């Protein structure tokens, strides 16, 4: 299990990185934290002609909290996010989800941009991005564009990013003061990708409830559960509304069967975890 | 081929290898540090865990060239003045190892865990070391050892 | 009195090197220079005829020194002997056909592993794909694809064993119950994979360094395959092996393959199996379909049982299979008194990877079924499962006990052990708690499982696979035995070195031997250096030698104790001579030879060592110079299988009693272990810390097989679990946090220290106890577990289906 040969580049600027990607015309791969790509290289399931390593681009690692928006440089480590006071204060849902990402030694290297660009539908960050109406910034030779999750995630392990584009930034609107949250996940073992995960955030304001819900592991892309959110926004956060939202979640998701779980079981779990996430989010919500 | 210069266990080291060479192979083959073990080469078993700039990371998921300029700690670097580190001592005391193959990765993972959480609960220890697979111990002795090490490493009052 | 060390949790001497990264595992250092590296080309097909090879591109690749294929293997090696008479030609690589995904078809040798893997991709193999079969029942259907044309069938072997009069037992039974069980294919995935360095020299000696746990019968088998005399094939094992749990028994075909590669390459060749290879093609236990029947009286007395097994050994039957069926022959009846048994054992070949010993070899299967049947019987008769078992347990006065299948249970007090488990678990209280939980709608269950824990296989058991008529032929050589050796020597300064022929994989042999020798010679463990690096050229060994079947605690420690006693007797003789006293007047006490009574000089070991080494003239006439003793311990109860298929398949037999309480989550079907009690009787415990370490580890292996681990294939024989993301090894978060361990000690009358093995321990009981606990939890739904692993998804489907009906 040794990688096939490749050319290796570790540019120190984003422009250089993009120029390299253009040069290889689709035969190069971007190396971020490497926690998903290097296994694929070791199994020789990925055989790029070249690797463009972003780890030396200092300008891609940051957390900025400005005007209600938290912006993450794509190369921000999951571990940095886990221990960031800004994240703890402004995006507690992201912080909780981070604890579900692999294990601490994985999070030491793994990055927010890498996790999202890898587009594993069972992964936690794509679900949080989807739940919180976040967006990503991608830069290529033709310039920069901003993509909402629905425009980014295509299917299993596939995004709409072009081969010469780099995901440079992840933007998440800060959760309102007093918002409740929960990330519920069911996996066969600790640290595994989710069989199903549910990201939930709730807040009250102006006499009404706002709910944000998305799933991981329940289909080819993370799924925003807008209809469930509407049930809660219409009927409030009582047990009956939560149960109704959970039932609707089971109906909305379109999971597949794999080695670890059947589609029916995943569908069922989507409901169970939605209810659990909403109850816990309700408990943590203030105001 | 690429030159790799790095600090390992406090000493400056260098080597020359293909850019595809994994850090774990570089440590073992080029630097002769065979204490770091290869268990799965896809980041799950954790046997190859080392500290990279003070943080636990899988050396099978890093290229040696990526470690150029880094400060690496391997299991060989844990002893101080010819004595076992308190964590190593605790593993011995509580039978935290049998075959010893996962042990290097387990030690470095536990060390990192205790750094970010100096007084972990049993569940937190279990969650922390779940990053490394052990097939001998059922983890029982390891959990006890890490909890005992937390006590041993805690600053003494007064 | 000098201090006694046996029975103490002495800290391990192995730990210093292992904790500091200074262990010596096979991959850690080249024992010789110019080592080249192998990569193995493997079949992508589950079943395919090999039409030809093109190695030209691979040979031309950077750094490549040799490529060998199945053609070379067919030409230059013989097939391995197999444990059945069916003509199965099992070579160390595919020659005519590939019979499972991952079967070796060629080997590339290059300057380093990266280059070897590059070149391996350039080896072209032309295949004609054939239909595959993976299910053992389908493999026996008339239109099933046949793997081995010469055999003409996928049935590698079949035996119907009859003990007592089972037909009568079933005729006279008041209750008869039947059930079908499925046991999954899983391994133990030691974190260190297989590793081999082979050097084939021009003088015709082939030296192999490897993490093999033999030599066992596999050394002569491999020598024969390579066309070498046994004393031209040298096996050396490095001081440290990174776990095995039986799996490394099956490395030997790769030893032959890499040795052949070295012969062709003309350089030493190293191969370290990678994790993908390990999951694809190392070894595992069998998956089994079992049909069970039990005949009983309404008072719960079991009269007899019928076992019908289909054990799936994969593409070839590899020795020591069919141990999957016959290893527990002597303890087929477990801890129960019933006398009538029929065993119908079919060993089936399908397009899956090969099988062999895996911790608890065949016993996890056996007790999953038997204990499941005991619970069904209890339920049917309205008896508590503990009470039902009590009514059938062997009584203490029956020991030593000859089982109807030929086993000789050396010692035990099964009711006391069960009572202890019940007491620690506070079983009655648990039942009350369960009643409350059930009333609240919770799925709370309690499981019980008992097992006779066999240690030290009598290698004669494998012949149970052969027909008695075949065994009766004059040219048939009966097989039996279980021996181990040890040498103890005293250096001129009085320090002791013990030399073993064992191959420990984490069991702490050095520590345990130091404890034993310290006690026998009145020393401290620090005075004893223990060397356990097997070398077939220098160690005293026999064909049962090795570290498998929980041997060391029983046969290995016995050889050590006997060698130490031999040496001590020599010291006494020598000292008596120096004291000019009759031997009967002196004794060895507190580390010195002293007069039994009265005053007079005493001679310490150190003193005697100095004199004996420096002045051989001081030895009594006729005494051999040198202070050393070698003992070879063999069990006299190890006998060949008899004409009625009875065999004492192991030599010492421990006992395990377990209670587990679980709760099944009503929403997710996840299983949570609330309580787990395991009580063991393994005779004298030499080092409780190490013994308990084996139990914790064994229990988690059992849990892995019951809930997480399975080597899975699709219908076409494609392998689905080739990574540790798919093959799930339990982590610390899945391991039960609370395990209550206790011991009962019934010393074995057969071993000098009274010890037995316990290395496999709870790996054989946990699948049974957790299945019984989950069955009990789901009893209100009318559900009983018949298949493992119980994944949340599979369990949820069972529950949903039960709720629908």
Asked whether residue A107 carries a pLDDT value surpassing 80, the answer given is yes
User: What CA–CA distance (Å, rounded) separates A245 from A225?
Assistant: 9
Q: Are A184 and A198 in contact (CB under 8 A)?
A: yes
Asked whether residue C109 carries a pLDDT value surpassing 90, the answer given is yes
DSSP string for C243-302:
--TTGGGGGHHHHHHHHHHHHHHTS-EEEE--HHHHHHHS--PPEEEEEEEEEE-TTS-E
Tally of domains in chain C = 3
Question: Residues C630, C647: one domain?
Answer: no
Q: Which residue of C has its CA nearest to A47?
A: C118
Instruction: Check B130 against A103: CB less than 8 A apart.
Output: yes
Domain boundaries, chain A: 7-56, 59-172, 181-284
Question: Residues C529, C627: one domain?
Answer: yes
CATH class of A7-56: alpha beta
- CB contacts of A38 in chain B (<8 Å) are 22, 43, 60-63
Q: How far is C694 from chain A (nearest CA, A)?
A: 23
- The whole-number average pLDDT for the span A140-145 is 97
Beta bridge partners of C36: C269
Question: Residues C531, C586: one domain?
Answer: yes
pLDDT at B158: 61
Question: Any CB–CB contact under 8 A between C192 and chain B?
Answer: yes
pLDDT in tens, B36-53: 999 999 999 999 999 999
Candidates A1, A7, A51; nearest CB to B41: A1
pLDDT in tens, A165-190: 999 999 999 999 999 999 999 999 98
Q: How far is C626 from chain B (nearest CA, A)?
A: 35
> Does C3 reside within a domain?
no
pLDDT at A206: 83
Which distant-in-sequence residues (6+ apart) come within 8 Å of C26 by Cβ? Answer: C192, C195, C196, C197, C209, C210, C211, C238, C241, C272
CATH of the domain at C573: 3.30.365.10
Looking at chain A, the whole-number percentage of residues with pLDDT higher than 90 is 97
pLDDT in tens, C533-560: 999 999 999 989 999 999 999 999 999 9
Which range has the worst mean pLDDT, A191-205, C152-166, C382-396? A191-205
Q: Are C559 and C573 in contact (CB under 8 A)?
A: no
Same fold, A7-56 and A59-172: no
pLDDT in tens, C115-132: 999 999 999 999 999 999
pLDDT at A188: 92
Residue finishing a domain among C269, C304, C330: C269
Candidates C506, C732, C733; nearest CB to B99: C506
Asked whether residue C146 carries a pLDDT value surpassing 60, the answer given is yes
Asked whether residue C4 carries a pLDDT value surpassing 70, the answer given is yes
Q: Are C585 and C576 in contact (CB under 8 A)?
A: yes
Q: Which residue of B has its CA nearest to A34?
A: B61
pLDDT in tens, C631-642: 999 999 999 999
- Residue C298 token pair: 């309404």
Question: Residues C657, C799: one domain?
Answer: yes
Q: How far is C730 from chain A (nearest CA, A)?
A: 7
Question: Residues C453, C570: one domain?
Answer: no
Question: Residues C711, C794: one domain?
Answer: yes
Instruction: Check A39 against B43: CB less than 8 A apart.
Output: yes
pLDDT at A193: 84
CATH of the domain at C36: 3.90.1170.50
Looking at chain A, the whole-number percentage of residues with pLDDT higher than 70 is 100
Which CATH code of 3.40.1080.10, 3.30.390.50, 3.60.21.10, 3.60.110.10 fits the domain covering A181-284?
3.30.390.50
Domains of chain B: 2-75 (3.10.20.30), 86-153 (1.10.150.120)
Candidates C712, C723, C730; nearest CB to A189: C730
Q: Which residue of A has its CA nearest to C275?
A: A1
Q: Which of C607, C478, A63, A104 is nearest to B110 (CA)?
A: A104
Show the 3-state SS of C520-549: HHCCCHHHEEEECCCECCCCCCCCCCCCCC
> Does C468 reside within a domain?
no
Question: Any CB–CB contact under 8 A between A95 and chain B?
Answer: no
- CB contacts of C117 in chain A (<8 Å) are 1-2, 4, 44
- The whole-number average pLDDT for the span C243-264 is 98
Q: State chain C's mean pLDDT as an integer.
A: 97
- The whole-number average pLDDT for the span C45-61 is 98
Best residue in A37, A105, A187 to probe B by mutation, most B CBs within 10 Å? Answer: A105
Question: Residues C662, C709: one domain?
Answer: yes
> Does C647 reside within a domain?
yes
Q: How many other CB atoms are found less than 10 A from the CB of residue C477?
A: 9
Question: Any CB–CB contact under 8 A between A178 and chain B?
Answer: no
User: What CA–CA distance (Å, rounded) separates C174 from C163?
Assistant: 20
- β-bridge pairing C592-595 and A208-216: unpaired
Instruction: Check C732 against B33: CB less than 8 A apart.
Output: no
φ/ψ of residue B6, rounded to 5: -155, 170
- The whole-number average pLDDT for the span C54-75 is 98
> Does C602 reside within a domain?
yes
pLDDT at A191: 81
User: What CA–CA distance (Å, rounded) separates C409 from C553?
Assistant: 16
Asked whether residue A287 carries a pLDDT value surpassing 90, the answer given is no
- CB contacts of C16 in chain B (<8 Å) are 84, 92
- The range of the structural domain enclosing residue C551 comes to 483-634
Q: Which of C454, C480, C630 is nearest to C554 (CA)?
A: C454
Confidence at C418, pLDDT banded by 50, 70, 90: very high
pLDDT at B17: 98
Question: Residues C448, C504: one domain?
Answer: no
Question: Any CB–CB contact under 8 A between A45 and chain B?
Answer: no
Asked whether residue C782 carries a pLDDT value surpassing 80, the answer given is yes
Question: Any CB–CB contact under 8 A between B57 and chain A?
Answer: yes
Looking at chain C, the whole-number percentage of residues with pLDDT higher than 90 is 97
pLDDT at C1: 57
Interface size between A and B, measured as CB pairs under 8 A: 90
pLDDT at A190: 83
- CB contacts of C712 in chain A (<8 Å) are 259
> Does C496 reside within a domain?
yes
Instruction: Check A265 against C276: CB less than 8 A apart.
Output: no
Question: Residues C594, C694: one domain?
Answer: no
pLDDT in tens, C321-378: 999 999 999 999 999 999 999 999 999 999 999 999 999 999 999 999 999 999 999 9
Asked whether residue B155 carries a pLDDT value surpassing 90, the answer given is no
Question: Residues C525, C606: one domain?
Answer: yes
| Annotation: CATH topology of A59-172 | 3.30.465
Question: Any CB–CB contact under 8 A between A55 and chain B?
Answer: yes
Looking at chain C, the whole-number percentage of residues with pLDDT higher than 70 is 100
> Does C340 reside within a domain?
no
User: What CA–CA distance (Å, rounded) separates B90 from B96?
Assistant: 8
**ipTM (interface pTM):** 0.98
Asked whether residue A131 carries a pLDDT value surpassing 60, the answer given is yes
Asked whether residue B126 carries a pLDDT value surpassing 90, the answer given is yes
> Does C45 reside within a domain?
yes
> Does C596 reside within a domain?
yes
Question: Residues C489, C579: one domain?
Answer: yes
pLDDT in tens, B52-110: 999 999 999 999 999 999 999 999 999 988 999 999 999 999 999 999 999 999 999 99
- CB contacts of B120 in chain A (<8 Å) are none
pLDDT in tens, A2-53: 999 999 999 999 999 999 999 999 999 999 999 999 999 999 999 999 999 9
């Amino acid at each position: 299990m040794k990688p096939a040969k490749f050319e290796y580049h570790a540019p120190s600027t984003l422009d250089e990185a993009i120029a390299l990607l253009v040069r290889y015309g689709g035969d190069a791969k971007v190396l971020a934290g490497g926690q998903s790509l290097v296994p694929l290289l070791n199994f020789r399931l990925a055989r790029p002609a070249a690797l463009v390593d972003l780890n030396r681009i200092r300008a891609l690692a940051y957390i900025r909290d400005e005007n209600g928006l938290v912006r993450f440089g794509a190369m921000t480590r999951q571990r940095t996010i886990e221990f960031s006071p800004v994240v703890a204060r402004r995006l507690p849902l992201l912080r909780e989800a981070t604890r579900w990402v692999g294990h601490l030694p994985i999070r030491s290297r793994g990055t927010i941009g890498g996790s999202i660009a890898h587009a594993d539908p069972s992964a936690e960050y794509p679900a949080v991005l989807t739940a919180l109406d976040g967006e990503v910034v991608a830069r290529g030779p033709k310039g920069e564009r901003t993509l909402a999750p629905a425009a980014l995630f295509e299917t299993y392990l596939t995004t709409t990013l072009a081969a010469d584009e780099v995901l440079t930034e992840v933007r998440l609107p800060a959760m309102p003061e007093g918002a409740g949250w929960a990330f519920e996940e069911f996996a066969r073992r600790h640290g595994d990708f989710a069989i199903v995960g549910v990201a939930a955030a709730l807040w009250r304001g102006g006499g009404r409830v706002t709910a944000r819900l998305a799933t991981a592991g329940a289909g080819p892309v993370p799924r925003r559960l807008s209809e469930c959110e509407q049930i809660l926004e219409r009927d409030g956060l009582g047990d009956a509304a939560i149960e109704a939202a959970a039932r609707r979640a089971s109906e909305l998701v379109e999971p597949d069967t794999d080695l670890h779980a059947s589609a029916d079981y995943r569908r069922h779990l989507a409901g169970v975890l939605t209810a659990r996430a909403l109850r816990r989010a309700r408990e943590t919500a203030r105001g | 081929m690429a030159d790799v210069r790095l600090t390992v266990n406090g000493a400056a080291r260098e080597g020359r290898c293909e850019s595809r060479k994994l850090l774990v192979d570089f440590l073992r083959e080029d630097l002769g540090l065979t204490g770091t073990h290869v268990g799965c080469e896809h980041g799950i078993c954790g046997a190859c865990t080392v500290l990279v700039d003070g943080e636990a990371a899988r050396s099978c998921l890093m290229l040696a060239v990526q470690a150029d300029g880094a400060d690496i700690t391997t299991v060989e670097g844990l002893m101080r003045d010819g004595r076992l580190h308190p964590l190593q001592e605790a593993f011995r005391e509580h039978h935290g190892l049998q075959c010893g193959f996962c042990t290097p990765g387990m030690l470095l993972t536990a060390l990192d865990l205790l750094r970010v959480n100096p007084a972990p609960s049993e569940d937190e220890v279990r969650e922390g070391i779940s990053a490394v697979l052990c097939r001998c111990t059922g983890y029982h002795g390891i959990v006890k050892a890490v909890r005992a090490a937390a006590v041993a490493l805690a600053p003494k009052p007064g | 009195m000098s201090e006694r060390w046996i029975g103490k949790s002495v800290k391990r001497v192995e730990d210093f090197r292992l904790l500091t990264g200074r262990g010596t595992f096979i991959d850690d250092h080249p024992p010789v220079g110019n080592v080249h590296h192998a990569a193995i080309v493997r079949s992508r097909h589950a079943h395919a005829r090999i039409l030809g090879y093109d190695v030209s591109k691979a040979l031309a690749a950077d750094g490549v020194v040799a490529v060998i294929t199945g053609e070379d293997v067919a030409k230059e090696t013989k097939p391995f002997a197999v444990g059945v008479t069916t003509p199965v030609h099992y070579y160390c690589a595919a020659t005519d056909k590939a019979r499972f995904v991952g079967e070796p078809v060629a080997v590339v040798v290059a300057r380093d592993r990266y280059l070897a893997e590059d070149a391996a991709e350039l080896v072209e193999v032309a295949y004609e794909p054939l239909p595959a079969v993976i299910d053992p029942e389908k493999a026996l259907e008339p239109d099933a694809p046949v793997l081995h044309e010469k055999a003409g069938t996928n049935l590698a072997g079949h035996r119907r064993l009859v003990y007592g009069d089972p037909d009568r037992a079933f005729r006279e039974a008041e209750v008869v119950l039947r059930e079908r069980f499925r046991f999954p294919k899983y391994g133990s995935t030691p974190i260190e994979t297989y590793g081999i360095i082979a050097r084939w020299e021009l003088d015709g000696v082939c030296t192999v360094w490897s993490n093999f746990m033999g030599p066992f019968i596999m050394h002569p088998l491999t020598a024969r395959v390579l066309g070498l005399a046994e004393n031209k094939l040298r096996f050396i094992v490095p001081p440290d092996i990174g776990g095995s749990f039986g799996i490394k028994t099956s490395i030997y075909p790769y030893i032959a393959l890499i040795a052949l590669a070295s012969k062709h390459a003309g350089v030493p060749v190293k191969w370290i199996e990678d994790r993908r290879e390990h999951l694809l093609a190392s070894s595992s236990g069998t998956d089994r379909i079992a049909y069970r029947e039990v005949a009983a009286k309404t008072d719960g007395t079991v009269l007899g049982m019928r076992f019908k097994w289909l054990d799936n050994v994969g593409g070839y039957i590899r020795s020591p299979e069919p141990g999957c069926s016959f290893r527990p022959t002597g303890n087929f009846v477990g801890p129960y008194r019933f006398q009538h048994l029929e065993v119908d054992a079919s060993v089936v070949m399908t397009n899956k990877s090969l099988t062999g010993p895996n911790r608890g070899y065949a016993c996890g299967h056996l007790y999953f079924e038997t204990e499941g049947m005991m619970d069904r019987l209890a339920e049917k008769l309205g008896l508590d499962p503990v009470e039902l078992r009590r009514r059938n347990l062997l009584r203490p006065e029956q020991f030593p006990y000859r089982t109807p299948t030929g086993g000789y249970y050396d010692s035990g007090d099964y009711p006391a052990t069960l009572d202890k488990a019940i007491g620690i678990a506070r079983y009655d209280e648990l039942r009350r708690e369960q009643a409350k939980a059930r009333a609240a709608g919770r799925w709370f269950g309690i499981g019980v499982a008992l097992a006779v824990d066999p240690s030290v296989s009598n290698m004669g058991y494998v012949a149970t696979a052969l027909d008695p008529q075949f065994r009766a032929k004059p040219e048939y050589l009966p097989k039996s035995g279980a021996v181990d050796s040890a040498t103890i020597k005293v250096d001129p300064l009085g320090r002791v070195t013990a030399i073993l022929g064992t191959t420990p994989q984490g069991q702490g042999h050095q520590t345990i031997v130091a404890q034993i020798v310290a006690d026998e010679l009145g020393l401290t463990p620090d005075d004893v250096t223990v060397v356990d690096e097997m070398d077939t050229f220098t160690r005293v060994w026999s064909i049962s030698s090795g570290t498998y079947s929980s041997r060391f605690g029983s046969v290995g420690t016995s050889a050590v104790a006997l060698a130490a006693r031999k040496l001590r007797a020599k010291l006494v003789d020598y000292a008596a001579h120096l004291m000019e006293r009759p031997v009967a007047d002196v004794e060895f006490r507190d580390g010195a030879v002293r007069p039994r009574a009265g005053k007079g000089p005493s001679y310490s070991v150190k003193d005697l060592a100095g004199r004996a080494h420096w002045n051989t003239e001081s030895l009594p006439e006729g005494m051999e110079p040198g202070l050393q003793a070698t003992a070879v311990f063999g069990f006299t109860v190890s006998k060949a299988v008899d004409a009625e298929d009875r065999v004492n398949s192991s030599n010492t037999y421990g006992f395990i009693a377990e209670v587990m309480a679980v709760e099944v989550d009503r929403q997710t079907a996840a299983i949570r272990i609330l309580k787990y009690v395991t009580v063991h009787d393994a005779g004298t415990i030499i080092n409780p810390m190490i013994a308990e370490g084996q139990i914790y580890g064994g229990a988690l292996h059992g849990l892995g097989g019951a809930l997480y681990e399975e080597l899975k294939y699709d219908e076409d024989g494609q392998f689905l679990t080739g990574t540790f993301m798919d093959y799930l090894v339990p982590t610390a978060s899945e391991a039960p946090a609370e395990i209550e361990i206790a011991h009962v000690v019934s010393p074995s009358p057969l071993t000098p220290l009274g010890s037995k093995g316990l290395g496999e321990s709870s790996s054989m009981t946990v699948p049974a106890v957790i299945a019984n606990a989950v069955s009990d939890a789901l009893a209100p739904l009318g559900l009983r577990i018949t298949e493992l692993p119980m994944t949340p998804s599979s369990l949820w489907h069972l529950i949903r289906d039960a709720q629908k009906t």
